[in-house]
């Protein structure tokens, strides 16, 4: 993974750590619990991705810089919680950033291991969304990916866009930047206009 992608991955870990820490604090966890939720949110998707790929080491075990940024993200969330609460849905904001960054990283890892395009998109979605699933389960909430809100679908579309750009414009930094911005803007629009998938539940 080149240096630019490494920066993307670390920034994603930082954003997801803030997301996890805010969720834990909103559920009245103690400081240790906040750190655990932040850690699980930040590394959950990437860990599952690395476990699924034969011969790939789990990224945070061999790159301690991630741990420092996760701790920094947790401390940031704790220290600035009062100010963050004045923002419009800070949890949603940092979760969206993490989703965008980690989706791109997951797809890129799939490409590096010569996986087919469908599996690359699956890896991107898993990397981007699974940490949030673990976070929500640990705080006893229904994961957002299983609700009507469009979450994983945004990751899938963004991952597909990345593959198209990679096919058309090889070895250019913008092919990572464009899908990340696309995922962030698309999710913001979806939430703003309250677009959701239909449920299969029917009232009797």
Q: Specify the number of domains making up the chain.
A: 1
Closest among 127, 102, 143 to 12, alpha carbons compared: 102
Residue 102 confidence class, pLDDT cut points 50, 70, 90: very high
Classify residue 153 as exposed, middle or buried by CB count within 10 Å of its CB (0-12, 13-18, 19+): middle
Backbone angles phi, psi at 194, to 5 degrees: 55, 45
Q: Per-residue pLDDT tens for 56-86? A: 999 999 998 999 999 999 999 999 998 887 6
Query: Do 186 and 128 touch, CB atoms closer than 8 A?
Result: no
Residue 201 confidence class, pLDDT cut points 50, 70, 90: low
If DSSP codes are grouped into helix, strand and coil, which group holds residue 169? coil
Q: Per-residue pLDDT tens for 111-159? A: 999 999 999 999 999 999 999 999 999 999 999 888 766 899 999 999 9
Would 199 be classed as within a structural domain? no
Q: Buried (b) or exposed (e) across 194-204, using 16+ Cβ within 10 A?
A: eeeeeeeeeee
Would 204 be classed as within a structural domain? no
Instruction: Give me the chain's average pLDDT, please.
Output: 91
From residue 136, how far is each of 87, 91, 115, 199 by CA, in Å? 21, 12, 30, 20
**Residue 61 lies in domain:** 3-78+89-192
Residue-level pLDDT at 11 = 95
pLDDT exceeding 70 applies to what percent of the chain?
92
Tokens for 24? 């834990």
Closest among 72, 70, 71, 92 to 26, alpha carbons compared: 92
Q: pTM of the entire structure?
A: 0.92
- Mean pLDDT on 187-204: 78
Would 101 be classed as within a structural domain? yes
Would 141 be classed as within a structural domain? yes
**Where would I find the H helices in 80-143?**
81-84, 90-112, 117-138
User: What long-range pairs does 50-55 form, CB within 8 A, spacing at least 24?
Assistant: 52/123, 52/126, 53/109, 53/113, 53/123
Would 200 be classed as within a structural domain? no
Would 202 be classed as within a structural domain? no
Residue-level pLDDT at 134 = 97
Q: Per-residue pLDDT tens for 20-41? A: 999 999 999 999 999 999 999 9
Would 201 be classed as within a structural domain? no
CA distance linking residue 147 with residue 158, whole number of Å: 19
CA distance linking residue 76 with residue 64, whole number of Å: 19
Would 35 be classed as within a structural domain? yes
């Amino acid at each position: 993974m080149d240096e630019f992608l490494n920066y993307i991955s670390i920034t994603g870990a930082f954003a997801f750590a803030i997301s996890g820490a805010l969720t834990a604090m909103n559920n009245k966890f103690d400081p240790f619990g906040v750190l655990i939720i932040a850690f699980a949110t930040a590394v959950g998707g990437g860990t599952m991705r690395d476990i699924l790929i034969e011969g790939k080491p789990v990224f945070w075990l061999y790159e301690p810089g991630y741990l420092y940024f996760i701790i920094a993200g947790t401390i940031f969330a704790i220290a600035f919680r009062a100010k963050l609460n004045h923002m419009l849905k800070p949890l949603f904001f940092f979760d969206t950033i993490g989703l965008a960054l980690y989706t791109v990283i997951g797809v890129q890892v799939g490409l590096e291991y010569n996986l087919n395009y469908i599996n690359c998109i699956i890896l991107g979605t898993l990397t981007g969304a699974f940490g949030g699933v673990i976070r929500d389960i640990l705080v006893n909430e229904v994961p957002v990916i299983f609700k009507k809100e469009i979450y994983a679908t945004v990751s899938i579309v963004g991952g597909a866009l990345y593959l198209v750009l990679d096919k058309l414009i090889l070895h250019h930094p913008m092919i990572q930047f464009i899908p990340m911005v696309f995922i962030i803007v698309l999710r913001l629009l979806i939430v703003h206009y309250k677009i959701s998938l239909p449920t299969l539940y029917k009232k009797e």
